[in-house]
């Protein structure tokens, strides 16, 4: 099956594209786009991979589902389109960055500026029906994104994984912590941000780790 994805990822994930589950997944997703309103737009499904090639990944921020509201999902976890109001979780991420590092210069929620610096903004599920959170879970996306995390853990070294909330922590349970920095905290949702996300200082910790390894830090602002 031919998948339109960055060549570096195509090379690393070739085995996944040839597996039966992936054909079933693509058949399902294609049918959904033909019969339902689905987010993000088809050309943005693999946007995180397009903006952040395999060999350029420095940080992985793991989300769960794309946003299911009109005009929100843009293929990057926690991000929204430039002219879209910041959802509550992203507002809280920006608050933590401001408290941790300094006042944010950019006010839009696109976050492609992070992706282009090596931040893989990866959702566990890469598509969703409009207004139906979790509607594309259990169809194969999780197997695919598990493989993404596994390849990064095995073949790269010195990455930072930010796991927010119990779902992300469970999904990242098998990351090799001898080779990578794994940062865990509560989810930035308003329901849990005060239970350990605020004050986690993940952004400064990530930059300190990257600098200690001789890499350029991420400009989060």
Catalytically annotated residues: 65
The residue assigned the tokens 């395999």 is: 54
Paired with 63 in beta bridges are 123
Chain centroid to CA 10: 18
Compute CA distances 79 → 138, 171, 178, 202, whole Å. 23, 20, 30, 18
What torsion, rounded to 10 degrees, do the Cα atoms 167, 148, 39, 166 define? Answer: 10
HSE-CB for 1 with a 13 A CA cutoff: 16
d(CA 6, CA 149): 16
């Amino acid at each position: 099956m031919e998948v339109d994805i960055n060549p570096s990822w195509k090379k690393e994930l070739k085995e996944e594209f040839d597996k039966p589950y992936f054909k079933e997944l693509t058949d399902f997703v294609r049918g959904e786009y033909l019969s339902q309103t689905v987010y993000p737009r088809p050309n943005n499904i693999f946007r995180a991979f397009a903006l952040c090639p395999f060999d350029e990944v420095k940080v992985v921020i793991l989300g769960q589902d794309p946003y299911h509201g009109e005009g929100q999902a843009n293929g990057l976890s926690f991000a929204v389109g430039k002219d879209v109001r910041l959802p509550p979780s992203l507002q809280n991420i920006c608050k933590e960055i401001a408290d941790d590092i300094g006042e944010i210069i950019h006010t839009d929620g696109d976050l492609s500026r992070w992706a282009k610096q090596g931040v893989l903004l990866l959702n566990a599920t890469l598509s969703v029906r409009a207004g139906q959170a979790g509607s594309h879970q259990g169809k194969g996306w999780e197997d695919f994104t598990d493989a993404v995390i596994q390849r990064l853990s095995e073949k790269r070294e010195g990455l930072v994984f930010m796991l927010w909330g119990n779902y992300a922590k469970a999904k990242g349970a098998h990351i090799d912590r001898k080779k990578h920095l794994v940062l865990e905290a509560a989810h930035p949702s308003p329901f849990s941000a005060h239970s350990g996300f605020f004050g986690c200082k993940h952004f400064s910790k990530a930059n300190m780790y990257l600098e200690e390894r001789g890499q350029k830090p991420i400009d989060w602002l």
